[in-house]
Amino acid sequence: GRPIVIIMVDSGSHVDPLPEPGTEYDVVVSGAGPVGLMIGCYMQSQGVRCVLIDPHLKNGDGSKAAVTMPRSFEMLERVGVGTAIADVGRPAGLARLGSNGGWLGKITGFTSARLSQYVPTAVGQNIVEAHLCARYLELGGKILRAARVTGVSEDDTAADEGGRCTVAVERYVYVRPPAQAPPLPPALAALTSTSLSARFAVGADGKQSMVRESLGLGYEGHEYAQSFFLADVELEEGVAEATGWERGLHAVIEADGAFLLFIRLQGNVFRTYYCAAGMEPEQCTQESLSEQRGPPQRAVWMHKSGTRP
């Protein structure tokens, strides 16, 4: 089976004790991904006291979303990080499709300088999160990590203050399986739940949003049943240039129906995607892919995950 990975609390993380029950904020945001961090940055920049609640121990390590569009950069620049993030990434001005050992065609001209100063740019979500998190903390914002929102209720007694809500929070650490959550130090485990008072509660916690569930709002999306493999792969210096993969997005459809997609992010890091008909969750591993396609040459697997909702 897969090796069990133990995540240490002090591996680049900073976790604070939960605040005492009744601690007041203007806005409580559930989720400290790009959306939650962006909301937090904007609130803090406008003098609105904000706290983010997130079950992860630190910002994400993997690229996840790989391309940021011009309009997103414009919004990010409103809180002072758009240009800095764009400078780290690579312009994604080319997309090409290949099959049967050759390239079928390419697409260019994704944007125009008349529309925006920015262009579609390949940059990992982890880079976006790191910049937003640094800016949010610089603005005086607070993140309660290793915690999650468990409920939201309206506080009828605060009607004369314009209305407030109570946000229930519990100590909870999330790590991606098969990794195991670490035991928390006594100072962090002393208070395992609390409640915060806020004028507004915002759900930026994805499909399983407890804010949305507490308000009785259903999930309107759909399940994606196809298994697939994602990984961040770092090539040795010069390999991408030598093989003609140095810029843009590259998609390949093989004769057996397998689909591969590669896009170069910052530095020599590539976001890779692979799927095939009948692919099972246990095949979403580096070992399985190496058996099918051969071991990677002159490359390092940095961050990988297989998923099937």
Confidence label for 225 from pLDDT (cuts 50, 70 and 90): confident
Mean pLDDT of the 257-267 span: 88
Opening angle at CA 21, ends 20 and 24, nearest 5? 90
How many Cα atoms are found within 13 Å in the side-chain-facing hemisphere of 59? 18
C-alpha span between 18 and 61 (Å, rounded): 24
pTM: 0.86
C-alpha span between 149 and 56 (Å, rounded): 13
Residue 116 has pLDDT above 60, yes or no: yes
C-alpha span between 124 and 60 (Å, rounded): 10
C-alpha span between 195 and 217 (Å, rounded): 22
Quick count: other Cβ atoms within 10 Å of Cβ 114?
5
Q: For residue range 170-201, list pLDDT tens digits in order.
A: 999 998 777 788 788 888 888 999 999 999 99
Residue 305 has pLDDT above 70, yes or no: no
Q: For residue range 85-112, list pLDDT tens digits in order.
A: 999 998 888 899 999 888 899 988 777 7
Which of the residue ranges 113-117, 163-167, 257-261 would you say has the lowest mean pLDDT?
A: 113-117
